[in-house]
Structure 1
Amino acid sequence: MFSCQQGPLWICNEGAKEDKVSIDEQHECIKWLDSKKPNSVVYVCFGSLSNFVDAQLLEIAKALESSGHQFVWVVKKQNNDQENQQDWLPEGFEKRIEGKGLIITGWAPQVKILSHEAVGGFVTHCGWNSTLEAVSNHQHAGVPMATWPVFAEQFYNEKLITQVLRIGVGVGAKEWSRVAVESVKSDAIEKAVTRIMVGEEAEEMRNRAGGYAEMARRAVEVGGSSHSNLNALIEELRSHDIAHE
């Protein structure tokens, strides 16, 4: 598990107060984000199941550096061989992006990251949990997405994000595969990142995302649509239990 995903019910507990600082808030990336300006960082994460070949990771690294935007990049690497661990990064990359980028190869608190005011965009595989967490995030203005579906229902989720909700743009991924080959070049990735981070289009997507976040918040409140529908389901299940007694 490389990103902490809490699914569609996380928003119900988001406002709960805690007496002590959570593990999420102690993570190095949260402290790093605290030093950044609002909407200045792009978050890159493809979930726990998607795998990228080294050549594709190299294209992502090139794009992030060329974009000039600060970033948090969660990388899943199956090959932990010390001799080959840098094959997916350009030579001198880590030194050049020092202070500008943060690479995480282990667990990351995704909800906390997406909720941080410094995060202005999200490069995502369009998994349903990740989509909900980005759309339902109402800690700040909203998080536009650069969509990169890999397999399963993710290509349908991409259409929802880009064509229906209009809060994201695609990087151009077309091939369904559990292991993503080198199919998206750095210039396409860089273009998508720039579109969600700066400019009038990015601001419009951010505003729309903020509107959907407010709708999500109202839906889980007492009397909201999700609250009412869940109660109705519980009551229906109870009625069936009573009928069979």
Structure 2
Amino acid sequence: MDGKGKLHVMFFPFLGQGHLIPMSDMARAFIGRGVRATIVTTPLNVPTIRGTIGKSFDSDSDSDLEIVSMKFPCVEAGLPEGCENTESIPSPDFVPLFFKATTMLQTQLEQLILQHPPHCLIASSFYPWASQSAANFNIPRFVFHGTGVFALSASECLRLYQPHNNLSSDSDPFVIPHLPGNIQMTRMMLPDYAKADGETNITRLLLAIKESEATSLGVVVNSFYELEQAYAIYYEKLQGRRAWYIGPLSLCSQNQEKGKRGKEASVDEGDILKWLDSKKANTVVYVCFGSIANFGESQLREIARGLEDSGQQFIWVVRRSDREWLPEGFERRTEGRGVIIWGWAPQVLILDHQAVGAFVTHCGWNSTLEAVSAGVVMVTWPVSAEQFYNEKFVSEVLKIGVPVGVKKWARIVGDNVASEALVKALNRLMVGEEAEARRNRAHKLAQMARTAVECNGSSFCYLTDLIQHLRSIAHLPH
């Protein structure tokens, strides 16, 4: 199809850090195995992809990678100019308009498929219409969900069996039926769309995703088989679709480029590393809530108090730029034992440092997997999306996390947690035999993650199998 006899895969990530970064890592993994890759995005998101792919894959000098962009119809959809990714959505009210804008990309995608004909399209699950686009050109489409199969299986069980419908209150626990592991949840922890009565924009989107997955060739998962084995088996039975486990994709980053993934860090990498080098192993707590979660000033003050009262050393990433909410004298009192990074942090670089002993996280799947890969235990503080499922997976299945005690799913602004709860969770994670047992389990999982992506590891073999499968569909020599 492309005259070079090389397999050519087109990647179409959703326009949010949680998809842009792992799908850029994925393209990199394919290129490393002799495949040509084209990544489709919009102009504003090109720097994130370039930062993640790294200098060694500069498209001007490397014909195996091309980044092509299309215009994002923000104004046509009723969004402000320049609103091209989930981080730039001005308020939750604009989320439906953002999704509406993504449905208007189909014609442009099909033009790009014509101009850069691939043998296959790997597209984010949030573009259900991409299955039709691929079918129009008679090429296979694979789905990328951006989460693990535990969460996918849990949400599918809830959709099928509706165990949360006949409860007397939102705080009554129920077991997720048929899901291995006897996992208990409450209605309060479920996403609003999982409890919606009747049709809403999001339930329609979820149904379209489900239908497009059924017509796709399969699912590509950023996870490794050993991590979610029981759920991998269950998920494929549930979906009747093959899945390829090729992660953790963050391990595809070369060491010298760990700090460059995603956006430009708002702190000097060398300074952070120097500070961490001065600390003993497993003594620093890293606190970061991803690119979407937002906390009000009172919650940020509680976090500050909790970090101060815990006596632990910490690195805390705060997305806001204003500092008025900081408790008076906080920075002075924690000088030397605490660092605040205002903005974007080189997360993989920090988590991989031996000084980091715990991670306070919103349980986004990328962050969860990066912590697993680094062997770091977690204080789980879920906010939205599928994060409450991930919390259950980390704390109850893997047993490498301690919940801070969040009870309620929220779309953007997290549930309120008192400083004492953070102190208590950090103590459980950092001190004593229980903490030691969790850390040992985390270290074993990190070793398994590294083995999975090495030659002949499970993820390595899944990727080999996927590439061979695509070559045979495209009638290319193996």
Aligned runs of 1:207-218 on 2, under 5 Å? 207-218=440-451
In 1: Cα distance, 2:307 partner to 2:403 partner: 16
| Matched AA of 1:70 | Q
Q: 1:22 to 1:143 in 2, by over 3 A?
A: closer
- Between the two proteins, what is the percent identity of the paired residues? 58
State which of 300, 304, 325 in structure 2 corresponds to 1:57. Answer: 300
In 1: Cα distance, 2:310 partner to 2:435 partner: 15
Deviations 1:1-20 (A, max 9, x none): 999x9543221344x5x5x9
Task: Output the aligned Cα RMSD.
Answer: 2.4
Q: 1:210 to 1:237 in 2, by over 3 A?
A: same
* Contact 1:146–1:192 (CA under 8 A) maintained in structure 2: yes
2:290 is aligned with 1:47: yes
Aligned runs of 1:99-118 on 2, under 5 Å? 99-118=336-355
* Contact 2:379–2:425 (CA under 8 A) maintained in structure 1: yes
| Matched AA of 2:400 | I
* Contact 2:408–2:415 (CA under 8 A) maintained in structure 1: no
In 1: Cα distance, 2:17 partner to 2:338 partner: 18
Aligned runs of 1:132-211 on 2, under 5 Å? 132-137=369-374, 142-181=375-414, 183-211=416-444
In 2: Cα distance, 1:143 partner to 1:53 partner: 27
Name the structure 2 match of 1:124: 361
2:457 is aligned with 1:224: yes
Shift of 1:34: 1.2
In 2: Cα distance, 1:26 partner to 1:190 partner: 28
Name the structure 2 match of 1:71: 314
In 2: Cα distance, 1:198 partner to 1:172 partner: 19
2:86 is aligned with 1:86: no
In 2: Cα distance, 1:181 partner to 1:169 partner: 17
Deviations 1:161-198 (A, max 9, x none): 00000000000112222333561111111111111111
Shift of 1:22: 6.7
Deviations 1:201-220 (A, max 9, x none): 11111100000011111111
| Matched AA of 1:115 | D
Q: How many residues align?
A: 229
Matched position secondary structure for 1:209: helix
Deviations 1:83-120 (A, max 9, x none): xx322x22111110011100111221101100111110
Residue ranges of structure 1 left out of the alignment (5+ in a row): none
Residue ranges of structure 2 left out of the alignment (5+ in a row): 1-15, 23-247
Matched position secondary structure for 2:287: strand
Matched position secondary structure for 1:121: strand
Q: 1:21 to 1:177 in 2, by over 3 A?
A: closer
RCO higher in 1 or 2 (8 Å CA, sep ≥ 6)?
Answer: 1
Shift of 1:31: 1.6
Q: 1:217 to 1:22 in 2, by over 3 A?
A: closer
* Contact 1:55–1:181 (CA under 8 A) maintained in structure 2: no
Shift of 1:21: 11
Q: 1:196 to 1:21 in 2, by over 3 A?
A: closer
**TM-score, normalised with respect to structure 2:** 0.45
In terms of Rg, which structure is larger? 2
Matched position secondary structure for 2:340: strand
Deviations 1:12-70 (A, max 9, x none): 344x5x5x997688342222111111111100000111101111111100000000000
